[in-house]
């Protein structure tokens, strides 16, 4: 599953909506919506996101998070390391090879490191 798939499913169920009803209202097939929720389809387009946000009655404050979660939910990621030092390319390749074997707690630790690095960069330290 992807973060977006989990989010859509959670909101849809909270609203008491079926995949079939939501798919019909958004003009997509139930199979597409199921694949999206299960992470079998890539990140949806902007038009779909707008229609889904409207259909799910996502308020303005929550819309930014809805769109952000969609932006980080493509199940097939391409990392462009051209122009970077060789260790960046090695790191990206190693991660792509080993990601399926990482324990969830290791992934959480790596996310914490990335978040800390981003915070340091944003704060100019």
Q: Residue 79 domain-assigned?
A: no
73 exposed, middle or buried (CB, 10 Å; 0-12, 13-18, 19+)?
buried
Q: Residue 77 domain-assigned?
A: no
- Name the residue range of residue 47's domain: 3-71
Q: How high is the pLDDT of residue 98?
A: 94
Q: How high is the pLDDT of residue 125?
A: 57
Q: Residue 35 domain-assigned?
A: yes
Same domain for 91 and 46? no
Same domain for 117 and 63? no
Q: How high is the pLDDT of residue 53?
A: 95
**Average per-residue pLDDT in the chain?**
92
4 exposed, middle or buried (CB, 10 Å; 0-12, 13-18, 19+)?
buried
Which positions of the chain have pLDDT values less than 50?
Answer: none
* Domain count of the fold of the chain: 2
Give this prediction's pTM: 0.72
Q: How high is the pLDDT of residue 114?
A: 92
Q: Name the domain boundary from 46, 71, 96.
A: 71
CATH code (residue 34): 1.10.260.40
Per-residue model confidence as pLDDT tens digits over 82-114: 999 999 999 999 999 999 999 999 999 999 999
Are 36 and 98 in contact by the 8 Å Cβ rule? The answer is no
Same domain for 38 and 93? no
In order of 39, 109, 111, the CA distances from 114 in angstroms are 23, 9, 5
């Amino acid at each position: 599953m992807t973060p977006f798939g989990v989010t859509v499913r959670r909101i849809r169920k909270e609203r008491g909506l079926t995949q079939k009803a939501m798919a019909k209202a958004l003009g997509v097939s139930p199979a597409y919506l199921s694949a999206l929720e299960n992470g079998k389809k890539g990140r949806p387009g902007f038009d779909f996101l707008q229609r889904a946000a409207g259909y799910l009655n996502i308020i303005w404050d929550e819309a930014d998070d809805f769109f952000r979660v969609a932006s980080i939910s493509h199940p097939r990621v391409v990392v462009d390391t051209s122009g970077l030092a060789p260790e960046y390319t090695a790191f990206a390749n190693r991660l792509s090879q080993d990601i399926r074997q990482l324990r969830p707690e290791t992934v959480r630790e790596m996310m914490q490191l990335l978040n800390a690095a981003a915070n340091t960069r944003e704060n100019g330290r």
